[in-house]
């Protein structure tokens, strides 16, 4: 009887730890596959939920913008393209600002200005398994 109780409790513990590890793995993040050797865990970013909370649902081009001859084309949106299609990994004279700067400027600028949302490295690049 005692052994059975013990096994039962251990099963519950195993289930609970497995489940909490799983839910941590499941936090949606930005896609960092364009970076060849990422130095950090991909940043937390739950696209639709975030944009709803930040009141950006009607302003896709705030992030998915379109430029022509270095001029921003208002109200046109490039949501079909990844940021990395236009922003190169390394800075170059003829192209847009490098990818990492593009992400950081877009994400952090608003958090600083509005005093909402994370601004510290570890708040966005959250390590998964702890
Ligand atoms: C507001 C959220 C946010 C904050 C704060 C932030 N980052 Fe990022 N960072 C991103 C996003 C989004 C990307 C692009 C894809 C990804 O890695 O998730 C990125 C990309 C990167 C990359 C390139 C990809 C890689 O892993 O090599 C590095 C390096 C990086 N960040 C380091 C930092 C450091 C260092 C800090 C603090 C000084 C920082 N970040 C703060 C959101 C953030
Ligand atoms: C706060 C910035 C931001 C806003 C606002 C935003 N997005 Fe995005 N969206 C992103 C980022 C970052 C990615 C990842 C792109 C990448 O890695 O190149 C993305 C990816 C996407 C993708 C590609 C998804 C995939 O699985 O490949 C689509 C489609 C998209 N967004 C549509 C929209 C639409 C529609 C809106 C407006 C209702 C919108 N986005 C508003 C930042 C934003
Ligand atoms: C269709 C090409 C294209 C796509 C897709 C694109 N960008 Fe850009 N982006 C540009 C160009 C061109 C510039 C202007 C660079 C210059 O003035 O030298 C720019 C400028 C920027 C700037 C600096 C100006 C500003 O608005 O503050 C940021 C930040 C930026 N992009 C972030 C992003 C992010 C994040 C994504 C993905 C969600 C993205 N871009 C997708 C082409 C693009
Ligand atoms: C125009 C403003 C704006 C931009 C651009 C923006 N954010 Fe935010 N972000 C917010 C606001 C506002 C909150 C706080 C939402 C709340 O909890 O009410 C927030 C919260 C967050 C949080 C905390 C978790 C959450 O969803 O509430 C993360 C993580 C985050 N942002 C990541 C990002 C990343 C990554 C980008 C760039 C791809 C980004 N943000 C671009 C305004 C912005």
Average pLDDT of the residues of the chain: 87
In this prediction the pTM is: 0.90
In this prediction, residue 17 carries a pLDDT of 56
pLDDT above 80: residue 13: no
Q: Is the distance from CB of 84 to CB of 34 less than 8 angstroms?
A: yes
* Residue spans per domain, the chain: 29-124
Mutate to test the pocket of ligand 2, among 47, 85, 101 (most ligand atoms within 8 A of CB): 47
Q: What is the pLDDT of residue 113?
A: 97
- Which fold is adopted by the domain 29-124? Cytochrome C3 (3.90.10)
Give the sign of the dihedral formed by CA 20, CA 121, CA 43, CA 37: negative
| 3-state SS class at 98 | coil
Q: Is the pLDDT of residue 83 over 70?
A: yes
Residue nearest to atom 6 of ligand 3 (CA): 83
Among protein residues, the one whose CA lies closest to atom 40 of ligand 3: 83
pLDDT score recorded for residue 30: 95
**DSSP of 103-127:** HHHHHHHHHHHHT-S--SHHHHS--
- Nearest listed ligand to the Cα of residue 92: 3
DSSP summary character for residue 88: -
Q: In the structure, what pLDDT confidence band is assigned to residue 72 with cuts at 50, 70 and 90? A: very high
């Amino acid at each position: 009887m005692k052994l059975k109780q013990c096994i039962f409790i251990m099963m519950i513990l195993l289930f609970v730890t497995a489940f909490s590890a799983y839910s941590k793995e499941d936090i949606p993040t930005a896609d960092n596959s364009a970076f060849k050797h990422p130095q950090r865990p991909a940043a937390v970013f739950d696209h639709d939920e975030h944009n709803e909370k930040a009141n950006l649902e009607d302003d896709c081009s705030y992030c998915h913008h379109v430029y022509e001859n270095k001029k921003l084309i208002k109200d046109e949106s490039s949501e079909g393209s990844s940021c990395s299609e236009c922003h190169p990994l390394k800075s170059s004279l003829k192209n847009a600002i490098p990818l990492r700067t593009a992400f950081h400027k877009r994400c952090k600028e608003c958090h600083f200005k509005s005093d909402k949302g994370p601004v510290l490295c570890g708040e966005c690049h959250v390590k998964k398994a702890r």
